Structure 1
Amino acid sequence: MRKVARTGVALSLVVGVSLSMATQAHAEKKRGDRAAGSANNGKVASQVSHVRITGGGGGGKGTVKLNPKDPNWEAPACWYEPKTTPKELKEEMESLKPKKPKKDKEEEPIIGAGADATELSNALLGQAKNVLDNYYQTDKYEDYNIDQQGKGMFWEGVRNPNRADDPEADACSEHAIWVPNGKPPKSMPLAVSPKILAEYAYEELPIPGTDISMNPEDKQTVNLDTWVWLDKGKFKPVDVTASLDLEDGTHLSATTTAKPTSLTLEPGTYDAKTYPGSGKCVVKNGQLGEEYSVGKKDETPPCGIRYLRASGQNGSYPLKATLTWDISWKGSDGTSGDLPSGSFSTTENVTVKEIQSIVRD
């Protein structure tokens, strides 16, 4: 029983990897700015998705990933999407040919302790091809639905590249499913849709790191207000679009937008006062915080901190700044909604000194 179980597992792996490698070349031709399901550290993570990300992408230089407010929320680990025509699927199956063994042998390769790696691979690959041939030629369909060419597509499971090694991605491991043009499968909960595209795009948002501006810029002074603000040109709404264009002319897309809404300051010591008292600065006149200027030296900052005790000769306070972004999406079919807000925090060590008299330019 143990040997049979190992063979079954190996067979399923060979089927999955073989299909991935067979379809990857075809899908690469249709790749957009960044396609899902690409190679991961030299290993095939899944079949390459036809979904394209445009508008930035979360992997850009200087960008960060948001932490969703709901800790239980995650973008989908996988989904099903139209991938191959009957002709393409048949060609892929026919390409699964066993490699030639290193030594010529008249007998058929045998799965067992004495079989070398090539023999084992050939045997498993042959079994995989037989299983798939039976499924797509006679058991479920007739000759890969060749007579339906141009009337629909086979939908296949693809993995979210950001969760390629997540066990939850195995939820999309069923055989390819035939779907007529214009009739998305209602019984398939993970069938690609604008909402799924929006959730995937969430992870690709080009969020800038939370770098705050302060005045005074360097060392802070006891009982002197520190003005805090964010660069208006850098911290503004950002968006990305995930799209899927099908061969039958169908277009699915969703644009996910992130909008900065609040900046929360935590001074790193109880001997401090925040402005406002809650420490949560909200957007006002399109900006978080207000840039300091000479004429404001007698004003209270709308967003800032006043340290009440020096940090010590060789010490500092860990000032934590958390920027919260509200997330919304809009689909090509008119659907729309909100996704969990996200945040990103940075901590800056602040030195606070004592001074008797203060002159501010």
Structure 2
Amino acid sequence: MAGIGVDRPPAGGGQKNDDIYAQVEVIKYDTSKNGNGPSAGPVAAVQADWSPPPCWYAPRWNPDELRDYYQRTYQAIVHDPGMPPEARNKWNEERHNYIDGDYEDFNQEKEGEGMWWGAVQNPNAPFEEQFACDRVPFWADNGETPEVENIITPEILAGLAYEQIKVPGTEVSLAPGGKSKVNLPTWAWLDGGEFKPVSVTASLAVGGLDMSATTTATPKSLRIEPGTKDARLHPASGECTINGDGSIGEPYAKGKAEQEPPCGVTYL
């Protein structure tokens, strides 16, 4: 299991302190059914109409944790000589809002009834885009979904799970092996046991919110790219679909050298 999530920097910027802005496990991944091995790699989508956002909002702190966060951040702000005065004043106004402004003592009286929500940065997004979610922490009761843009959703979790998918390296059997013979077909096939679905589950369970999504990459076909126009593909589309038993193509057998394979290529 792995987690991602980074504390939001104070309003106006300032120098990052690793002791103050520690990573927080927000999204957890179950990769037990993912592809593995030294040759495993990410899915190369033919067409994608969705990409994970650079940031989103999710439950982050209970009242004590948010109070502790601001107390620790306050020490960093006070001792940061590079903090512009206007940024320091804005941050102090934000902090006091949780003490004696719209809220009282960080909503301590509602302990256990909800959570403070805050921004979470997607570490795979361009760094300059990760801080587009710039809302200050806001409260939501347990079971309530805040009506705020970029709130965490199952769709976002599914996309984050997709980013973690790894397709296992697959070795295609060829006959004849080694160099292909001109004008004689090369047979290509995959055994069913080597061609399996892989999946990753992304989940978030905190503050009364329990949400998860699983993304599965299912093998559908083997595409042959001969590397030259002087070749004939079998089938003509070059796409060998998966058989009912999970295999692709048909193993070569003696006496089939001049037959047309269900999956393969003939170099002219």
Q: TM-score, normalised by structure 2?
A: 0.83
Q: How far has the Cα of 1:99 moved from its partner? A: 6.2
Q: Are 1:69 and 2:46 an aligned pair?
A: yes
Q: Are 1:189 and 2:145 an aligned pair?
A: no
Gap change, CA 1:60 and 1:97, over 3 Å in 2 = farther
Gap change, CA 1:289 and 1:279, over 3 Å in 2 = same
Deviations 1:133-181 (A, max 9, x none): 12322444222111111100011111222225252x3332211121100
Q: How does 1:6-85 map to 2 (within 5 A)?
A: 12-14=12-14, 17=16, 22=20, 24=22, 48-56=24-32, 61-70=38-47, 73-85=50-62
Q: 1:141 aligns with which of 103, 107, 113?
A: 103
Q: Are 1:179 and 2:170 an aligned pair?
A: no
Gap change, CA 1:197 and 1:274, over 3 Å in 2 = same
Letter in 2 for 1:48: V
Partner residue, 2:172: 212
CA distance in 1: counterparts of 2:215 and 2:190, whole angstroms: 22
CA distance in 1: counterparts of 2:211 and 2:148, whole angstroms: 17
CA distance in 2: counterparts of 1:213 and 1:207, whole angstroms: 18
CA distance in 2: counterparts of 1:212 and 1:177, whole angstroms: 53
Partner residue, 1:232: 192
Q: How far has the Cα of 1:127 moved from its partner? A: 4.1
Q: 2:124 aligns to what SS in structure 1? A: helix
Gap change, CA 1:53 and 1:138, over 3 Å in 2 = same
CA distance in 1: counterparts of 2:211 and 2:264, whole angstroms: 44
CA distance in 2: counterparts of 1:142 and 1:130, whole angstroms: 15
Q: How does 1:227-266 map to 2 (within 5 A)?
A: 227-248=187-208, 250-266=209-225
Do the aligned residues in 1 keep the contact of 2:172 with 2:188 (CA within 8 Å)? Answer: yes
Q: 2:82 aligns with which of 120, 131, 143?
A: 120
Do the aligned residues in 2 keep the contact of 1:84 with 1:154 (CA within 8 Å)? Answer: yes
Do the aligned residues in 1 keep the contact of 2:189 with 2:263 (CA within 8 Å)? Answer: yes
CA distance in 1: counterparts of 2:183 and 2:232, whole angstroms: 9
Do the aligned residues in 1 keep the contact of 2:11 with 2:91 (CA within 8 Å)? Answer: no
Partner residue, 1:152: 114
Partner residue, 2:239: 280
Do the aligned residues in 2 keep the contact of 1:10 with 1:124 (CA within 8 Å)? Answer: no
Q: How does 1:311-350 map to 2 (within 5 A)?
A: none
Letter in 1 for 2:20: A
Q: Which ranges of structure 1 fall in alignment gaps of 5 or more residues?
A: 1-8, 25-46, 101-108, 110-116, 309-361
Q: How far has the Cα of 1:78 moved from its partner? A: 1.8
Q: Which ranges of structure 2 fall in alignment gaps of 5 or more residues?
A: 1-8
Q: How does 1:85-124 map to 2 (within 5 A)?
A: 85-98=62-75, 119-121=81-83
Q: How does 1:283-302 map to 2 (within 5 A)?
A: 283-285=242-244, 286-294=246-254, 296-297=256-257, 299-302=259-262
Give RMSD over aligned pairs. 3.1
Q: TM-score, normalised by structure 1?
A: 0.63
Number of corresponding residues: 258
Gap change, CA 1:255 and 1:267, over 3 Å in 2 = same
Letter in 2 for 1:175: V
Larger Rg: 1
Q: Are 1:161 and 2:138 an aligned pair?
A: no
Q: Percent identity?
A: 37
CA distance in 2: counterparts of 1:132 and 1:273, whole angstroms: 69
The range that moved more, 134-143 or 148-157, is 134-143
